[in-house]
Amino acid sequence: MQTTFRSVFISDVHLGTKACQATHLLDFLQNIQTDTLYLVGDIIDLQEMRHKAYFVESHNKIVEQILAMAKSGTKVIYIPGNHDAFFRKFAGQTLSGVDIRLNARHQTANGRTFYVSHGDEFDQMVKISPLMLAIGDRAHGLMLSLNQWINGVRRFIGLPYWSLAGYLKSHISKAKEFIERFETAALKSAKNQQVDGYICGHIHFASFRMKDETLYCNDGDWVEHCTALTESKAGELSLLHWSEQPKIIATEPAPESWGFQPVPNRG
């Protein structure tokens, strides 16, 4: 599998919680090479750590690996989310080689411009259904606990990682409706900013969606799905799942299928 990239986007790691799939993420970071690493929010879950911290050695190693990557030449850009919003006060500064920003504009190798943010800014624009509110609170915690138990059993019998949350979000109509509204809000924002696409995280659901010549990209998470958005040296975008059996789970729609060609330096 290709492990050398021009850029990599990860978000919703939630270090400091038991739900973080730290082993898979550490393995991913140690086995890739990338010119630029975007940390697209909710990397350290300061919000949850106020109640109960779970910052074990594997979590420390992830932080150390990211800092080592920055020191060795990888450009690391950190865009805090709602769970690590404390770091937003440091926007514009560089700490230990990590550039902290509120958002970013990323230009791909083939000349497209993407706006990058965590995505929590759309919470006020998208009405969250009661189901999603439940998933976001106690029910979500229960689901993650079940996810850990299920995958513990799967590892024991030699089966690869599987996401319970991903299955539910893909099969429950109300969850699917919320995700679609979130994607629509991001696409509208990208269109208003006159960029070719939007890259974000926040809703823990990796996907591509094309509408009106604008591309929505969600890099997923590392508590439920273990996914990253990657850009090849040629500027092509893919979604990568990394666990016992790493694989590409999606590639962006081909430009010719859009009826659209990227415009160099637009935005």
Q: Is residue 266 part of a domain?
A: no
CA-based angle 250:206:36, to the nearest 5? 85
Q: Is residue 265 part of a domain?
A: no
Q: Give the CATH number for residue 180.
A: 3.60.21.10
Determine the structural domain holding residue 228 and report its residue range.
Answer: 4-258
Q: Is residue 107 part of a domain?
A: yes
Residue 143: the pLDDT is 61
Euclidean distance between CA atoms 226 and 243, whole angstroms: 7
Q: Tell the burial category of 12 from Cβ atoms under 10 Å away from its Cβ (0-12, 13-18, 19+).
A: buried
pLDDT, tens digit (0-9, with 9 covering 90-100), for 216-266: 999 999 998 999 999 999 999 999 999 988 999 999 987 544 433 333 333
> What pTM was estimated for this model as a whole?
0.82
List b or e across 234-260, with b for residues whose CB sees 16 or more CB atoms inside 10 angstroms. Answer: ebbbbbbbbbeebeeebebeeeeebee
Q: Is residue 184 part of a domain?
A: yes
Q: Is residue 264 part of a domain?
A: no
Helices within 34-172 (DSSP H only): 46-49, 57-71, 130-136, 138-156, 164-171
Which of 144-148, 178-182, 184-188 has the least mean pLDDT?
144-148
Q: Are 223 and 144 within 8 A, CB to CB?
A: yes
**Structural domain count, the chain:** 1
Q: Is residue 243 part of a domain?
A: yes
